Amino acid sequence: MEQTPARLAGKPTWLVTQLAVHAHRLSSEGFAEVGARGYHYRILSTLDEFGGSSQADLGRRSNMDRSDVVAAVNQLADLGFVERTPDPADRRRNIVTLTEAGARQLDRLDEVLGRAQDELLAPLAEEERATLVRLLTRTLEHHRNA
């Protein structure tokens, strides 16, 4: 078994980075099982929560680069999970909306991601998981607002 130096293993930055690698692998593998990607989940969940949006708003709300939004929306539209219609207020842009098929896909992705969360956090009790989420959220909000 590979050992990590104690002075490194005790650093939160190292721990978060190492755990992020595992989290990404687990979620990516789960999404791949249903023919999806993480960007698809971001777009579908954003549309579900906030309703129809321009691609620029989708990018801001889901923290994605504009080119990644365009590629993901194209893929989702090809699969029938989203629709693009001209914005009545500005015909130069489209409004992207979630379809019924997209809502069903989002439910599947929620299940997949739930299993990935369970696997990632398997050694933690429910209360510990809630504490971890609370602390990570507080830390992230601090750095986003800094």
SS3 of residue 93 by DSSP: strand
Tell me how far the alpha carbon of residue 94 is from its chain's centroid: 22
Q: Please tell me the pTM assigned to this model.
A: 0.88
pLDDT tens digits for 30-62? 999 999 999 999 999 999 999 999 999 999 999
pLDDT tens digits for 71-91? 999 999 999 999 999 988 888
Please report which helix (H) or strand (E) contains residue 84, including its range.
Answer: strand 82-87
Predicted confidence (pLDDT) at residue 3 exceeds the cutoff of 90: no
Question: What is the torsional sign of CA 57, 61, 63, 64?
Answer: negative
Predicted confidence (pLDDT) at residue 145 exceeds the cutoff of 90: no
CB distance 96 to 73 below 8 Å: yes
pLDDT band per the 50, 70, 90 thresholds, residue 2: confident
Go through the domains of the chain in sequence order and give each one's CATH number: 24-145 (1.10.10.10)
Say which residue the tokens 């504490």 belong to.
131
Per the structure block, which two tokens stand in for 36?
Answer: 């999806």
Separation of first and last alpha carbons in the chain: 39
Predicted confidence (pLDDT) at residue 1 exceeds the cutoff of 70: no
Per the structure block, which two tokens stand in for 8?
Answer: 């490194």
Q: Taking all residues of the chain, what is their mean pLDDT, rounded to a whole number?
A: 94
Q: Which tops the pLDDT comparison, 140 or 90?
A: 140
Q: Identify the burial level of 102 via C-beta atoms within 10 angstroms of its C-beta, where 0-12 means exposed, 13-18 middle and 19 or more buried.
A: buried
